[in-house]
């Protein structure tokens, strides 16, 4: 146990890129024909660590793609603008229903953690958010057929004391018996495990923002930008602001 705690601490100190994660922050409820703001952040939410856009850590993960999927399935690439501690963009809903916002970054450099007994790996990030306009609520769209993703199956808008049902998929198939961690501010977290269908249900006990993170090691060696790696480290996040 002590060895595991020490390893996590060493990994955290060794590189912010690995310890942190990207997430999409936006109001889960939108209004038709009204501008809807979106923020992309990088850091460690539960520790109160939000990286600066011009800092080395955020610059190491800023080669991401962000897009919007409308209720009718149409897909639009979103252009982001840098702010002090986040990237920002917006869209104007023209349909009622459920919008899926998705971020993907498969362009990060290979990391060598052999000194920490973790190996040489290629990190990949995928993040999602859901915006509901009106009362027609649907699950978030599948957006990462080549990696890991979190799908919101909930049939209601999020709120205090309500239950949220999430599904974790890897390459389009349920990721069963895999850890998934829920974070809020002030160092609170809870670790759950997906069932045989890759699903997990949780209640939202406080009126606050929740970030959900799941990771998976794909034991497939390869090479990226002429650097060999032993496996791919996949990380997916989902943000639920109340």
Distance CA 207, CA 193 (A): 24
The predicted-structure confidence for 134-176, as pLDDT tens digits, reads as follows: 999 999 999 999 999 999 999 999 999 999 999 999 999 999 9
Specify the higher pLDDT residue, 80 or 5.
Answer: 80
Here the tokens at position 226 are: 């002429």
Neighbours of 189 (CB within 10 A): 12
Phi-psi region of 28 (alpha: psi -120 to 50; beta: other; left: phi over 0): alpha
What pTM does this model have?
Answer: 0.92
The predicted-structure confidence for 33-42, as pLDDT tens digits, reads as follows: 999 999 999 9
Within 20-131, residue ranges assigned H as helices are 56-59
Distance CA 217, CA 123 (A): 9
Distance CA 152, CA 168 (A): 9
The predicted-structure confidence for 135-146, as pLDDT tens digits, reads as follows: 999 999 999 999
Q: What is the 3-state secondary structure (H, E, C) of 142-211?
A: CCCCCCEEEEECCCCCCCCCCEEEEEEEECCEECCCCEEEEEECCCEEEEEECCCCCEEEEECCCCCEEE
Q: Where are the domains of the chain?
A: 2-241
Q: What's domain 2-241's architecture?
A: Sandwich (2.60)
Here the tokens at position 56 are: 């080395």
| pLDDT class of 18 with cuts at 50, 70, 90 | low
Give the pLDDT confidence score for residue 186 in this predicted structure: 87
């Amino acid at each position: 146990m002590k060895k595991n705690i020490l390893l996590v601490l060493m990994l955290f100190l060794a590189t912010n890129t690995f310890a942190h994660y990207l997430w999409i922050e936006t109001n889960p409820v939108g209004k038709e024909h009204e501008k809807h703001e979106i923020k992309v952040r990088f850091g460690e939410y539960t520790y109160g660590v939000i990286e600066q856009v011009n800092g080395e850590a955020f610059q190491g993960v800023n080669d991401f793609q962000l897009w919007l999927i409308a209720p009718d399935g149409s897909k639009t690439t979103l252009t982001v603008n840098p702010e002090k501690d986040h990237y920002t963009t917006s869209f104007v809903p023209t349909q009622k229903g459920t919008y899926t916002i998705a971020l993907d970054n498969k362009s990060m450099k290979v990391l060598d953690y052999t000194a920490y007994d973790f190996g040489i790996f290629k990190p990949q990030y995928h993040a999602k958010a859901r915006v509901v306009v009106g009362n027609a609520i649907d699950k978030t769209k599948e957006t990462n057929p080549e990696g890991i993703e979190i799908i919101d199956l909930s049939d209601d808008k999020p709120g205090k004391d309500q239950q949220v049902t999430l599904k974790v998929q890897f390459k389009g198939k349920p990721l069963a018996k895999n850890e998934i961690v829920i974070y809020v501010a002030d160092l609170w977290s809870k670790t759950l495990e997906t069932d045989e269908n890759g699903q997990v249900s949780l209640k939202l006990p406080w009126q606050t923002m929740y970030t959900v993170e799941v990771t998976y090691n794909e034991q497939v060696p390869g090479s990226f930008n002429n650097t060999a790696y032993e496996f791919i480290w996949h990380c997916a996040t989902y943000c639920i602001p109340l």
